[in-house]
Amino acid sequence: MSKEFIYTEIADGIASQIRNGVLKPGDKLPSVRMMCQEHRVSMNTAKRVFLELESQSLVESKPQSGYFVSRLMSVKLPLPEVSRPSLMANNDEPDELISRVYENMGKKGITFFSIGIPSGDLLPQAKLKKEIIQATRELKDGGTEYEELHGNLKLRRMIAVRSLQWGGNLNENDLVTTNGGMNALSFCLMALGKPGDTIAIESPCYPGILQLANGLGLNVLELPTHPTTGIEIEALRKVIPQINLCLLIPNFNSPLGSCMPDDHKKEIVQLLSEHHIPLIEDDVYGDLYFGSSRPKCCKSFDEDGNVLYCSSISKTLAPGYRVGWIAPGKYKKKIMKLKLLHSTSSISIVNEAVANFLKSGRYEKHLQQMRRALQNNYQNYVQTIADYFPEGTKISRPQGGLSLWIEFDKKIRTTELYDLAIKQNISIAPGRMFTLQDQFENCMRLCIGLPWTEETRLCLQQVGNLAKKL
């Protein structure tokens, strides 16, 4: 029997006991050592069993104490439905709603469940300050002169090295830096789309992408998307003749938190490549996985340079630094030209500082802490939602990232909930923001990147109480 088979067999056995209720939430599992003896397997195999169960959110580890059945398992909130957007391109931008939600941004005293970035408390701000000061001192010109057009070489090397983690094998010349992740996406859309072209995206989708595509005159085709496995391949296959472009967030998509299985990624990359439809991949959340390993990217399966891989540090390290990048495959020349024309150069100081931070190994440690904090937040959110939100509330099962997607009963309109909540200094993101058509009126996105404090818990309870009133 292969090693591969042994550990999945053991894991499946335990998983079914958990699902059948033989093992209850909070129950302690046997130690790794005991597992070795019981099943006559190596330490490595025993460890892989727990990693597997952990990646399925079935068990959780407690430092110094071992593994326990996840408390999440006591929560029986149903999953939202697969989205069923209209398969006509729509452009009904919820401008007024987005303005209403954004106009309060940055105001003191408001609890922002509505924003999609990590709270400052989760970021290594003191260490980053030191890196900026160091970089400014060490850069010969103090960062006053233009960088080379590709962007900071050290940073590109570090990104290339890190690509091995997600099954990529980039080198420094495959990469071009940008002023953050949205800037990367904007270059890709400008390079490859022309007004009247049609772009396929997930539904629900991050509002910035909808507005960007719409603003560039593209027809936006929202496709059915599963809350845990992402865009539906069959739906994509059907619209292939209509589309010129595709943009996906395969890993921990905001707002759903879905993660496309590897075989879906591979199939979609092949499908689009065959039809010469460029795939723009947004991987800004990829490093924020809750399981035991980093998911692969579509770029991992890219054989002919048809995937434009975009990412940044805005969701993991420092949103305000605007450090992002593209691995544009065979479209590099177009992207380089757009960078030259629209922004001339990236900003040396911040790019150099981030490169040094990555090189020091601190980024990896920071990510470990951050992932733990987010996963913990997620479990606390779920428990609070189960306790205080109206009956019938459905929630997504993010396997990473910063977002949780809530689907209420049809009667509860989240634009109304927004108005009630903001009066209590709580900001949420109504579902209508995440589409260009008439759907998701009973949904909302919650950011789980806030520090989990008593205040956060009370505010979340309050959202539930307000929803019950509606």
- Footprint on this chain of a copy of itself (rule: CB under 8 A): 102, 105-106, 117, 120, 123, 125-126, 128-129, 132-133, 136-137, 141-149, 179-180, 182-183, 186, 194-195, 208, 211-212, 215, 217, 314, 317-322, 337-338, 340-350
> Smallest distance from the beta carbon of 346 to a copy of itself, in angstroms?
8
Contacts of residue 176, defined as CB under 8 A and 6 or more positions apart, other chains included, come to 149, 150, 151, 325, 326, 327, 328, 332, 335, 336, 339
CA atoms within 13 A on the CB side of 376: 13
Contact in structure between 307 and 269 (CB atoms under 8 Å): yes
> Smallest distance from the beta carbon of 16 to a copy of itself, in angstroms?
45
Instruction: Tokens for 314, please give them.
Output: 């805005």
Residue 44 has φ and ψ, to the nearest 5°, of -60, -45
> Smallest distance from the beta carbon of 210 to a copy of itself, in angstroms?
10
State the DSSP H helix or E strand holding residue 155, giving kind and residue range, or none if neither.
helix 153-162
> Smallest distance from the beta carbon of 132 to a copy of itself, in angstroms?
5
User: Closer CB to a copy of itself, residue 102 or residue 388?
Assistant: 102
> Smallest distance from the beta carbon of 362 to a copy of itself, in angstroms?
14
> Smallest distance from the beta carbon of 144 to a copy of itself, in angstroms?
4
Contact in structure between 167 and 327 (CB atoms under 8 Å): no
Cis peptide before 295 (omega within 30 of 0): no
User: Closer CB to a copy of itself, residue 319 or residue 430?
Assistant: 319
Q: How far apart are CA 158 and CA 454, in angstroms?
A: 38
> Smallest distance from the beta carbon of 316 to a copy of itself, in angstroms?
11
> Smallest distance from the beta carbon of 198 to a copy of itself, in angstroms?
16
User: Closer CB to a copy of itself, residue 132 or residue 298?
Assistant: 132
State the DSSP H helix or E strand holding residue 446, giving kind and residue range, or none if neither.
strand 443-447
> Smallest distance from the beta carbon of 86 to a copy of itself, in angstroms?
24
Contact in structure between 339 and 178 (CB atoms under 8 Å): yes
Nearest residue to 131 (alpha-carbon basis) of 362, 470, 389: 362
User: Closer CB to a copy of itself, residue 44 or residue 125?
Assistant: 125
User: Closer CB to a copy of itself, residue 340 or residue 458?
Assistant: 340
User: Closer CB to a copy of itself, residue 147 or residue 174?
Assistant: 147
Longest dimension (CA), the chain: 66
> Smallest distance from the beta carbon of 304 to a copy of itself, in angstroms?
25
User: Closer CB to a copy of itself, residue 67 or residue 112?
Assistant: 112
Contacts of residue 261, defined as CB under 8 A and 6 or more positions apart, other chains included, come to 229
For 313-365, the three-class secondary structure string (H helix, E strand, C coil) is: CCCCCCHHHCCEEEECHHHHHHHHHHHHHHHCCCCHHHHHHHHHHHHCCHHHH
> Smallest distance from the beta carbon of 208 to a copy of itself, in angstroms?
6
Nearest residue to 202 (alpha-carbon basis) of 403, 419, 423, 412: 403
User: Closer CB to a copy of itself, residue 295 or residue 324?
Assistant: 324
What letter would DSSP give residue 286?
T
User: Closer CB to a copy of itself, residue 12 or residue 121?
Assistant: 121
Instruction: Tokens for 225, please give them.
Output: 């998307």
User: Closer CB to a copy of itself, residue 206 or residue 290?
Assistant: 206
User: Closer CB to a copy of itself, residue 6 or residue 338?
Assistant: 338
User: Closer CB to a copy of itself, residue 60 or residue 147?
Assistant: 147
Instruction: Tokens for 138, please give them.
Output: 């060490």
Beta strands at 176-178 and 429-430: parallel, antiparallel or unpaired: unpaired
Judged by DSSP in three states, 88 sits in coil
> Smallest distance from the beta carbon of 215 to a copy of itself, in angstroms?
6
Question: How far apart, in Å, are the Cα atoms of 175 and each of 167, 306, 327, 361?
Answer: 16, 14, 5, 21
Q: How far apart are CA 179 and CA 314, in angstroms?
A: 10
